[in-house]
RNA sequence: GGAGAGGUGGCUGAGUGGUUGAAAGCGGCUCCCUGCUAAGGAGUUACAGGAGGUAACUUUUGUCGAGGGUUCGAAUCCCUCCCUCUCCGCCA
């Protein structure tokens, strides 16, 4: 959520910033509404002041002479009645304006960082660095072929259970998934993150707080009988965990790591990544999340990204770091670094983590603040995958494949998996 | 799902129409006394928003679960919703 005051006082700068996302955002209408609301706020305030004075006066008169029926008293009451009519009329206008302003502002995306590369779409994203040597050989198998050969997961049967884009992990596949979750959680908790295991169902307010609603209701699954949705990412419940709180400044930064299943409708992605573990309606993810001092979010962004990177390094998976351009940035983010892992079968890098600095966008929507110099100030929030489990498994299968059909398990993961090699069992 | 009880400041807990943002206690803060410890005394202490000021601060509005309503005036009366707790049922 953008700052209403800023829209009221400096609408052009807001428009300029948002237009870098590649779409024209005309905010003149919201601007008008905020100005109008401000005027009414001031009127209401002063009318309430007068009316309150009058009520006190009437109270005093009545307590002096309890059976007072004088015309003076009657007139005072009539005057009070006039105040009330005026005030409730203005309050009605306030409510209407509030609703309009809120619904329009909550559809506006976050400000862009001035450091984000300017560009139209994903083709303008900037590769910052690469790590490791991408595996480039002939006759490499895809992870779904490996999965089928080693009997690690099953897609076809899963459509019976649910529908397409769901998967059932089997035997060593399930074991590997579990090992990855534990490995990542252990790494991050040792590194100063507090582990959370939040609810998988979240209410509308939570989704609004982190920016998925109202605009992207199509992208999450909704429970029809309740005001509950299947959480698309742990970012949602973690943001909501501190909704309407004022956090002690000394506690900052608060760093959480959470494993959660994630549910996404993937509307509009028909035909893309239909095989394997890349794009599913349900997947597991270990998420990193910071609540931090607003003056330090830029450093925090570097840190959360390198914390996510550390997992890829430990697993010895080649990857690159990409600075997402303005036209490709997510709704809530002001700047995002994607980590993309090398997938040998398709000879390309695929997103495995997205690390975003949301500034005070989510904190304002969720009202998460801290006191700085006695003033309540919205915190900054950052989130990053550390990492997406299914895609990590895909990367391990493809990068670790051996000529005999087995898969080498990265050394760091072997103790969790219970073996350094994955064979048909 | 059935029955009942309840939501008041950091906490406990009074308060059924009037100058009440709210008694009392606990806790917190400041000072005094006591050579340690324990105890005692005085004072102070809700939150959020707006306006003005570099600032200390001043001023104003709102807030007793949320939202409406009645009234000159609502924590208190009416309506709607949400949540919590207890018992029973069901369940991991």
- Any atom of strand B under 7 A from CB of A58? yes
Cβ neighbours of A347 (radius 10 Å): 11
User: CA A111, CA A99: separation in Å to the nearest integer?
Assistant: 22
pLDDT value for A2:
87
pLDDT value for A243:
86
Q: Is the peptide bond before A39 cis (omega within 30 degrees of 0)?
A: no
User: CA A68, CA A62: separation in Å to the nearest integer?
Assistant: 6
Phi, psi of A390 (to 5 degrees): -60, -45
Give the ipTM of the model, two decimals please: 0.83
Residue A46 domain-assigned? yes
- Any atom of strand B under 7 A from CB of A423? no
Residue A114 domain-assigned? no
pLDDT value for A225:
79
Say yes or no: A319 and A398 in one domain: yes
The predicted-structure confidence for A315-363, as pLDDT tens digits, reads as follows 999 999 999 999 999 999 999 999 999 999 999 999 999 999 999 999 9
Tell which of A72, A105, A138 closes a domain: A105
Say yes or no: A211 and A308 in one domain: yes
Say yes or no: A126 and A100 in one domain: no
Residue A116 domain-assigned? no
List the CATH number of the domain containing A202.
Answer: 3.30.930.10
Say yes or no: A101 and A140 in one domain: no
List the nucleotides on chain B closer than 7 A to a protein CB. Answer: 18-19, 47-50, 56, 60-62, 68-73
Say yes or no: A144 and A86 in one domain: no
Residue A111 domain-assigned? no
pLDDT value for A59:
85
Name the DSSP letter for residue A425.
-
Q: How far is the CA of A131 from the C1' of B56 (A)?
A: 55
Say yes or no: A288 and A217 in one domain: yes
Q: Could you tell me what percentage of chain A is helix, strand and coil, using 3-state DSSP and rounding each to the nearest 5? A: 45, 20, 35
Instruction: Measuring from the CA of residue A44 to each C1' atom, give the nucleotide at the shortest distance.
Output: B61
Q: Which residue numbers in chain A have pLDDT < 50? A: none
Say yes or no: A324 and A408 in one domain: yes
- Any atom of strand B under 7 A from CB of A42? yes
List the CATH number of the domain containing A69.
Answer: 1.10.287.40
Pairing state between β A348-357 and A335-343? antiparallel
Say yes or no: A171 and A258 in one domain: yes
pLDDT value for A248:
82
Residues A408, A196 contacting (CB under 8 angstroms): no
Residue A110 domain-assigned? no
Q: How far is the CA of A376 from the C1' of B48 (A)?
A: 10
Domains: count for chain A: 2
Residues 6 or more apart whose CB falls under 8 angstroms from that of A126 comprise A117, A322, A323, A325
> Cβ-count burial of A271 within 10 angstroms (0-12 exposed, 13-18 middle, 19+ buried)?
exposed
Tell which of A79, A105, A131 closes a domain: A105
Residue A284 domain-assigned? yes
Say yes or no: A59 and A154 in one domain: no
Helix (H) or strand (E) holding A296: none
> Of the candidates A373, A383, A380, A367, which has an alpha carbon nearest to the alpha carbon of residue A246?
A367
Say yes or no: A367 and A303 in one domain: yes
Residues A267, A218 contacting (CB under 8 angstroms): yes
| Location of structure tokens 């909550």 | A106
Residue A64: domain span: 4-105
User: CA A209, CA A205: separation in Å to the nearest integer?
Assistant: 6
Say yes or no: A131 and A74 in one domain: no
Residues A384, A305 contacting (CB under 8 angstroms): yes
The predicted-structure confidence for A149-167, as pLDDT tens digits, reads as follows 999 999 999 999 999 999 9
Q: How far is the CA of A162 from the C1' of B86 (A)?
A: 40
pLDDT value for A211:
93
Say yes or no: A58 and A176 in one domain: no
Tell which of A51, A72, A105 closes a domain: A105
């Amino acid at each position: 959520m953008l700052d209403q005051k800023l829209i009221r006082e400096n609408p052009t700068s807001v428009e300029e910033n948002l237009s870098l996302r590649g779409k024209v955002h005309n905010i003149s209408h919201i601007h008008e509404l905020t100005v109008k609301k401000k005027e009414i706020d001031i009127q209401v305030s002063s009318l309430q002041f007068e009316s309150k004075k009058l009520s006190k006066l009437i109270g005093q008169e009545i307590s002096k002479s309890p059976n007072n029926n004088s015309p003076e008293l009657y007139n005072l009451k009539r005057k009070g009645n006039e105040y009330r009519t005026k005030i409730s009329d203005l309050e009605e206008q306030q409510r209407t304006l509030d609703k309009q302003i809120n619904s329009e502002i909550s559809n506006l995306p976050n400000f862009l960082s001035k450091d984000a590369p300017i560009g139209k779409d994903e083709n303008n994203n900037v590769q910052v660095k690469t790590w490791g040597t991408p595996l480039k050989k002939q006759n490499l198998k895809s992870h779904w072929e490996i999965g089928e050969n080693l009997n690690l997961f099953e897609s076809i049967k899963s459509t019976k259970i649910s529908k397409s884009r769901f998967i059932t992990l089997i035997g060593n596949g399930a074991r590997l998934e579990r090992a990855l979750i534990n490995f990542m959680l252990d790494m991050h908790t040792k590194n100063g993150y507090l582990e959370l295991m939040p609810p998988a169902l979240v209410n509308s307010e939570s989704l609004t707080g982190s920016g998925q609603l109202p605009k992207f209701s199509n992208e999450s699954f909704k429970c029809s009988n309740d005001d509950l949705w299947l959480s698309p990412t742990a970012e949602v419940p973690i943001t909501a965990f501190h909704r309407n709180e004022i956090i002690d400044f000394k506690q900052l930064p608060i760093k959480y790591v959470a494993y959660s299943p994630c549910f996404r409708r993937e509307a509009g992605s028909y035909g893309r990544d239909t095989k394997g573990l890349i794009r599913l309606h349900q997947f597991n993810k270990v998420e990193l999340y910071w609540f931090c001092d607003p003056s330090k979010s830029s450093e925090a962004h570097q840190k959360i990204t390198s914390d996510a990177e550390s997992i890829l390094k430990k697993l010895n998976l080649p990857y690159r770091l990409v600075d997402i351009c303005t036209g490709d940035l997510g709704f809530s983010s002001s700047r995002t670094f994607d980590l993309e892992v090398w997938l040998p079968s398709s000879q390309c890098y695929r997103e495995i983590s997205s690390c975003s600095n949301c500034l005070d966008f989510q904190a304002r929507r969720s009202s998460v603040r801290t006191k700085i110099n006695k003033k309540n100030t919205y915190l900054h929030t950052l989130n990053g995958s550390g990492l997406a489990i299914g895609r990590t498994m895909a990367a391990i299968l493809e990068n670790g494949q051996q000529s005999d059909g087995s898969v080498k398990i990265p050394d760091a993961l072997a103790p969790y998996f219970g073996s350094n090699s994955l064979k048909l069992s």
